[in-house]
Every structure is written in structure tokens, then in C-alpha cells.
Structure 1
């Protein structure tokens, strides 16, 4: 498992992949932060009022990141699906299985590396959000004293943990789609299609379903339950159950299905 963990970092740290991923999440974080800061005194895209007092609160420093959790989730889903399904489509998985015939250990090492990588990516996004928030706040007369207080640091840590948790939920979707479809393009397309338009359509047609749909629950967890009828604790438990089921199905398919290329 340790060897699989180490080997997975080779493609993850390739310059094109690493720079592309970091640029994408930094751009997403910057967009969310800028839109959030300049929404003060107006309403956000959901029509909810955004006040200067709300952004000046200790939790205001992480508001920009929480505004784009869905986009960060899509990045995580794409990274995971590309990394795992790419092993099938490029024919490298078969060679890896020769060196490590214990499939579950190989999968565990890969997944652990991806988890660490995605947490680091979310952390970079959070740092971009914080830096840009401090830079833009004076332009809209938003006090930042509370952000540097102990409650502010606590809110930052809690917000970062929630966003990382929600993001890893999307990664579970990407891993499952990758093992089922074995093609990066198909896994990303199906995963994103389910997480965004399909769940959005279902929840709009039948609102109570939103409290049980995985991607919707991941969004609730990522923002700490703020603004949702489903409680944060209930959403967290349901996300853990979904991730456990997704992991179990992924492990069974990875272990039992033949690798022919």
C-alpha cells in the first residue's frame, strides 16, 4: 500500500497536471471571493441578502470559499476520475497489478494519495480566499478585525474542514464512476451530469429529495448547514453512509473485474 501511495504521486505531481489543477482551483476561489466581497449590501445568486456585518463576522473570512464548494467538488470529481480511470484507458493498471497483485492494497494506496492531494488543493484554495478577502475587503468598507481573532481562526479551521469533507464526497463519486466506466471522459461526464443537472432537476421537482441526494448533502456539509433545512449533523451522517457504500462498491468492482488492457 505504501508503494502504491508513493507511485500515485508521480502522475499527480507532473507539472501540467499539478499546475492546471492549482490554477483551476485558485481561479475558482478567487471568483467566489470577489463575488462574495462585492455582494455586500446586495443579494447573492440565490437571492439571499449579503450584509457588511455578515462578512465582517469571524466566519466572513471563509464565505468566499463556501460560495464555490460545488465547483471545487467538480474539480475533485474530475481529478479522481481522471487518475483512476486513466490507469484503465492507458493500460498502466495491468503493469501495476503485476508489481502489486493485492488489488485492494493497490486501490487503498491510490485513494489515500488522492485524498491527501485533494486536501492540499482545498487548503490552497482557502489560502487564496483569505489573501484575496483581506485585499478586497477595504474596497467595500468591510472590517477585517474579527477575521484575525481567535473565533475567526476557529471559523476558518471549521470552514476548511467542512469544505474538504464535502469535496472528498465528490471524489467518492469520481472514484466510483471511474471504476464502473473505465474511461476518464465518460467517468467525468457521467459524474458531473449526475452531481449537477440530475440532482438539481430532481430536487426542484420534489424538494424533500434534497435531504437525501448525495451531492446536495455534500453541499450542506461544505457550508456547515447554513441556509438549509437539513441539519448539518444529519447531512454529515448521510454523506458518510453514501461514501461508505460508494467505497464498498468501488472496492468490489476493482477487485473482481478483469483488467484486459
Structure 2
């Protein structure tokens, strides 16, 4: 398993992949911070945004990060789906199974490496978002004193952890799609189509669905339960149930399906 973990990193650290992933993440994080402060005077952009007095609170430092939580989740989904499904499309999985014939150990090592990579992506987004928030705060006359207090640092830690959990949850969906479709394009397309337009349309038509759809529940977790109908603990329990089912299906398909590429 540890060898599978190490073997996954050369693929993840390809220059084009790293530049593309972290470049897109930095752009998304910057956009979230800018929109948060642009809308702090009450301007409506795409949702209700915090006002200047709310941004001055300890949790104000991470409002820009929380605003892009669903996009960070999509990045996590795409990273996992492209990596796992790419092993099928490139024909490298067969060679990997020769070196490690125990399929579940191979899959676990790969997923641990992908989880660590996603954690780095979320940390990078947090650094960009917070740094830009500090730069924009004086322009909007937002006090940053509470941000550097113990309470502010605690809110930063919780936001980073919650967004990691969110991105890992989306990564589980990406792994399931990758093993089912075995094609990067198909797994990414289906995964993104489900968590964005389908869930948004369904929850918009039938509001109670927000408390049960996995993508919506992950958004609840990413934002610490603030402003969501489902309590943080309930959302976490439901996500764990969904995740257990997704992991079981993924493991069974990877273990028992015939290897054709």
C-alpha cells in the first residue's frame, strides 16, 4: 500500500497537472475573496454576501474561502476522477497490478495519495484567499483585528478542515465515477453534471432535497453548518452513510471487475 502511495506521486506532480490544478485553484480562491469584498456593501452578486460589519468578525477572514467551497469540491472530484480513470484509458493500471496484484491495497494507496494532494490544494486556496482578504480589507474599511485573535485563528482552522472534508467528499464521488465509467471525460462530465446543475435544480424545485442530496450536505459541512437547514452533525452523519456506500461500490467494482485495459 505504501509503495502504491509513493508510486502515485510522479503522476500527480507532473508539471502540467500541478500548474493547471493549482493555477485554477488560485484563480478560484482570488475570485471568491474579491467577490466577497465587492459585495460587502450590500451589492447582490450571486447570493447574499456578508456586510462589512460581518466581515470584521473572527470568521470574516474565511468568508471568501467558504464562498468557493463548491468549486473546491469540484476540483477535488476532477483530480480524483482524472487520475483514477486515466489509469484505465492510458492502459497503465494493468502494469500497476502486476507490481501490486492485491487490488484493494493498490486502490487504497492511490486514494491516500490523492487525498493528500487534495489537502494541499485546499491549503493553497486558503492561503490565497486569506492573503487577498487582508489586502482588500483596508480598501473596504474592514477591521482585521479579530482575524488575528485566537478566535480568528480557530475559525481559520475550522474553515480549512471543513473545506478539506468537503473536497474529500467530492473526491469520493469522483472515485466512484472513475471506476464506473473508466474514462476521464465521462467520469468528470457525469460527476460535475450531477453535483452542479442536477442537484441545484432538484433542490431549487423541492427544498427538502437540500437536507439529503450529498453535494448539498457537503456544502453544509464546508460552511460549518452556518445558514443551512441541516445541522452540521446531521449533515456529517448522512455524508458518512453516503460515503460508505460509495466506497463499498467502488471497492467491489475495482476488486472484481475484469481488467480489459
Same-fold status (TM-score > 0.5): yes
Summarize the alignment of residues 216-227 of structure 1 with structure 2, pairs less than 5 Å apart. Answer: 216-227=216-227
| 1:126 aligned onto 2:126 | yes
| Aligned counterpart, 1:242 | 242
Structure 2 residue aligned with 1:195: 195
How far apart are 1:44 and its partner, in Å? 4.6
CA deviation after TM superposition for structure 1 residue 50, in Å: 2.4
Instruction: Give the structure 2 partner of residue 65 of structure 1.
Output: 65
| Counterpart in the other structure of 1:86 | 86
CA distance in 2, matches of 1:259, 1:205: 41
Q: Is it true that 1:11 corresponds to 2:8 in the alignment?
A: no
What is aligned with 2:36?
Answer: 36
Instruction: Give CA-to-partner distance per residue, 1:79-116, whole Å, 9 cap, x none.
Output: 10000000000000000001100000000000000001
Distance 2:90 2:203 in 1: 37
User: So what's the TM-score if we normalise by structure 1?
Assistant: 0.98
Tell me, in whole angstroms, the C-alpha distance in 2 between the residues paired with 1:222 and 1:170: 11
**CA 44–173 in structure 1, closer or farther in 2 if over 3 Å, else same:** farther
Q: Which runs of 4+ in 1 moved over 2 A?
A: 43-50
Structure 1: 5+ residue stretches without partners: none
The alignment's C-alpha RMSD in Å is: 1.0
Separation in 1, partners of 2:198, 2:40: 32
Residue pair 2:39, 2:45 contacting (<8 A) in 1 also: no
Query: How far off its partner does 1:48 sit?
Result: 2.3
Query: Which segments of 5 or more consecutive residues in structure 2 lack a partner in the other structure?
Result: none
Separation in 1, partners of 2:78, 2:115: 13
Alignment pair present for 1:182 and 2:199: no
The answer to whether the 8 Å contact 1:43/1:50 transfers is no
- C-alpha separation in 2, matches of 1:172 and 1:44: 33
Structure-to-structure mapping, 1:141-156, within 5 angstroms: 141-156=141-156
1:207 aligns with 2:168: no
Per-residue CA deviations over 1:137-189 (Å, capped at 9, x if unaligned) read 10110010111010000000001111111111110110000000000000000
Classify the secondary structure of the residue corresponding to 2:39: coil
Aligned residues: 261
Structure 1 counterpart of 2:160 = 160
Give the stretch that moved more between structures: 43-52 or 77-86. 43-52
How far residue 229 of structure 1 moved from its aligned partner, in angstroms, is 1.1
Deviations 1:10-38 (A, max 9, x none): 11001110111000100000000011012
Rounded Cα–Cα distance in structure 1 between residues aligned with 2:133 and 2:155:
15
Give TM-score scaled by structure 2 length.
0.98
Q: 2:136 matched to which residue of 1? A: 136
Which residue number corresponds to residue 170 of structure 1?
Answer: 170
The answer as to whether partners of 1:44 and 1:50 remain within 8 angstroms in 2 is no
Render the CA deviation track for 1:208-256: whole Å, top value 9, x for unaligned. 1110000010011001111111111111111111111111110000000
Q: Distance in 1 between matches of 2:49 and 2:192?
A: 29
Superposed counterparts of 1:109-124, under 5 Å: 109-124=109-124
